[in-house]
Structure 1
């Protein structure tokens, strides 16, 4: 249970520090006072919705099963949200992500809002029947979990098969395209570094005549070589440096002459054509290396296309085997669900009878196969379509499902948070809701917003939420005399009548007699 809640700077609330008791806790007050804002703050601490406060902290007692999520259990456990530079959640000083907080709190917090209709989603209904089954056959949940893993693997294999079958239909086009690209690259047959070499040749060709003329003119230096050596000898200067320089220069000229001779043999048109083809390859693939890598990839794909029939055959066998296992396990799960469907129906109808609602009928039909099996659980409320019943009736049906859900899936207790579950009900119907919640509150701590005096009168703890002239919200616990005034206000409005006071007292007296 939640023992204490502290909130600072949360929308209309500047600060509130509330201590809670066990059982049913009700919040009432004028419209717009901040009741839903307060509940939203509490829910946001557990990851449901955005947090608008600077600080939210809750103290929780009892074993919450934190060890399963990697957190050390303490007494009490402190859940905290802080908004500094970054919004952060903590459990007993250990940081936790918002997603992690939702997954953890889902094991002991259940929330039902006026806008929520998730109780009738097939996944939620199947989760409920699985909880009923597990209460009688604990290994059922293990079978459901194992089936989910099996179905994921089956779906993966089936998707691969569908992909390869789709690929097979266009494989001839793919093979032709792969061959075409390989042939185009082979036609050019580029070599790594060839592009740079060709550009060098092209540059040399463009300067060939100038180089030849300059070399012919500069070659006269070799005719004067002996004269320079003679001078150096006469002036008694070692000529070895000059000899080395001339030898190096001679090698440069010889190498260049070889290049010029090679250029004489080059077909300029072929060179330019080769450069253009290499340039086109680079434009398409980025570089010669990438073109060759692409060719290798296409060759591997071509080899795979040639083996696609074998791959398809192997996948078909794997899918058939997996599908057989999926069908057997889903059938086993379905049979267990059908076995305990009457128990679920009976429990729901027990709650519905207490809520002055007609009995419902449950049926398991075969639907689309998914990770939960092929079952589709349908709810029929007599001859009435659930979508056409009044909001008050709809809320009572949802309460029956919520109570049953918590009976089977939150067996160790927990926290229920309800938003105006008794809205749009008559006094008799509202009292039936109050009685069901009162019964549930012996096992669960329930937080409820209410505008009806019946539910508020049976609460173990009653808080009044108000808003002052500065539009700041406040929450305060009510004592018996204060509760009488608030209950009377809920009956007659802001101008409390004597009759309303009498009725309020009778509600509290009836509570005390129970």
Structure 2
């Protein structure tokens, strides 16, 4: 249960710290005082909606199985929201994303807002029906989980086959394009490092004539070689250095002559054409290596295109097997659901009877195969369109579903948060809502906003939300104060003696 709630600078609430007991906890007060604001603050620390406060902190006394989500379990578990430069959520001082927080919170907390009608969706109805089935047959939920895994694998295979079939329709174009790209690369047949080698040749060609002219002039040094030796001899100088230099120079000239001779054999037009072709490949693929890698990839694709008929046949056989298995298991689930759909109907109608509502019928029909099987579950309230029933009837219908959901889907207990579940009801109807909630609060801690004295009189804790100027406050009521608040709810701002007596009667009745 939620043991403590702390809010700081939450919209109209500057600060409040509340301690809660188990059971039914009701918040009352004039319209606009801040009851829904307070409730939304509580929900937001658990990842429901946007947090508007600077600080929100809630402590939970029950074990939540946090280890399964990668968090350490503590006693109590502390949920916290802080807004500084950015909004951050924590569980037991460990940072947590909002999505992970809401996933964890759904395991122990349910919320029913004023505009929430999702409990009538086929998905939710099937989940509820599966919960009823599981209460009679322990292996049912294991079969549901197995079916969902199998169905997901079936969908994956089906998508793969559809992709192959789409490729098959345009296979000739794809094959032609792959061959075209391979041929364009093969036409050039580039080699790694060839571009640098060609550019080096181009650079040498551009300087060939100047090098030849310079070498011709410089070669005159060899005609003067003997004169240099003679001069050095007369000067009694060591000629070794000159001998080494002239030999090195001769080697350089010979090597360059060989290079120039090789350049004479080069077809300049072909060289420039090849440089251009390799440049185009590099421009398209980034590098010669990139072009060769792309060629390999296209060859692999071409091989796959050539084998697509085999791949399609393999997928069709595998899909047929999966479809057979999935359909068979869906039929098993459907049979179990049909066995227990009447039990779900009975549980719902048992609560509806307490709530002074006419019985409903739960109908199963065969539908399109989905992750929930081949069943469509719908409810009907006689011949009345659910969209046209009054808000009071709608809320009581939702409460019946909520009660059954928490019996079969949240059997381990938890927290229920209800926003004006008794709105627009008569006194008798409001009391029926209170009685159902009192049954539920033997296992669940229930928070409810109410404008009706009947529900409020049954509360284990009663909090009054008030507003002074632009600032809201909340405090727990006891004894005489609580009777005064119930009387205000009966007669308005001007509390009458009759209203006080009625409030007193309600409180005494709640104790008996």
2:305 maps to: 305
More moved, 11-20 vs 158-167? 11-20
Q: TM-score, normalised by structure 2?
A: 0.95
1:13 aligns with 2:21: no
Residues in 1 aligned to 2:69 and 2:178: alpha-carbon distance in whole angstroms: 51
1:163 aligns with 2:163: yes
1:231 maps to: 231
Q: For residues 43-442 of structure 1, what are the structure 2 equivalents within 5 Å?
A: 43-84=43-84, 87-442=87-442
2:457 maps to: 457
Deviations 1:463-484 (A, max 9, x none): 0001223x22111111121122
Residues paired across the two proteins, number: 512
Q: Secondary structure at the match of 1:6?
A: strand
| 1:229, distance to aligned residue in structure 2 (A) | 2.3
| 1:93, distance to aligned residue in structure 2 (A) | 4.0
Residues in 2 aligned to 1:386 and 1:493: alpha-carbon distance in whole angstroms: 33
1:512 maps to: 511
1:494 maps to: 493
Alpha carbon RMSD of aligned pairs, Å?
1.8
More moved, 147-156 vs 91-100? 91-100
More moved, 52-61 vs 473-482? 52-61
Distance 1:371 1:221, change over 3 A: same
| 1:70, distance to aligned residue in structure 2 (A) | 4.6
Structure 1 alignment gaps of length 5 or more = none
Distance 1:118 1:252, change over 3 A: same
Q: Secondary structure at the match of 1:411?
A: coil
| 1:74, distance to aligned residue in structure 2 (A) | 4.1
Residues in 2 aligned to 1:353 and 1:241: alpha-carbon distance in whole angstroms: 120
Deviations 1:13-43 (A, max 9, x none): 2221112122111001112211111111111
Residues in 1 aligned to 2:351 and 2:379: alpha-carbon distance in whole angstroms: 15
1:475 aligns with 2:482: no
| 1:509, distance to aligned residue in structure 2 (A) | 3.0
Residues in 2 aligned to 1:277 and 1:148: alpha-carbon distance in whole angstroms: 55
Q: Secondary structure at the match of 1:191?
A: coil
Residues in 2 aligned to 1:61 and 1:203: alpha-carbon distance in whole angstroms: 82
Residues in 2 aligned to 1:390 and 1:204: alpha-carbon distance in whole angstroms: 94
Distance 1:265 1:65, change over 3 A: closer
Q: Secondary structure at the match of 2:219?
A: helix
Residues in 1 aligned to 2:88 and 2:250: alpha-carbon distance in whole angstroms: 78
Residues in 2 aligned to 1:234 and 1:387: alpha-carbon distance in whole angstroms: 125
Residues in 2 aligned to 1:64 and 1:194: alpha-carbon distance in whole angstroms: 66
| 1:72, distance to aligned residue in structure 2 (A) | 4.8
Residues in 1 aligned to 2:384 and 2:420: alpha-carbon distance in whole angstroms: 24
Residues in 2 aligned to 1:277 and 1:59: alpha-carbon distance in whole angstroms: 72
Deviations 1:228-286 (A, max 9, x none): 22222322332222222222222222222222222222222222211221111111111
Residues in 2 aligned to 1:102 and 1:499: alpha-carbon distance in whole angstroms: 46
| 1:102, distance to aligned residue in structure 2 (A) | 1.9
Residues in 2 aligned to 1:138 and 1:246: alpha-carbon distance in whole angstroms: 101
Residues in 1 aligned to 2:392 and 2:242: alpha-carbon distance in whole angstroms: 112
Residues in 1 aligned to 2:247 and 2:373: alpha-carbon distance in whole angstroms: 90
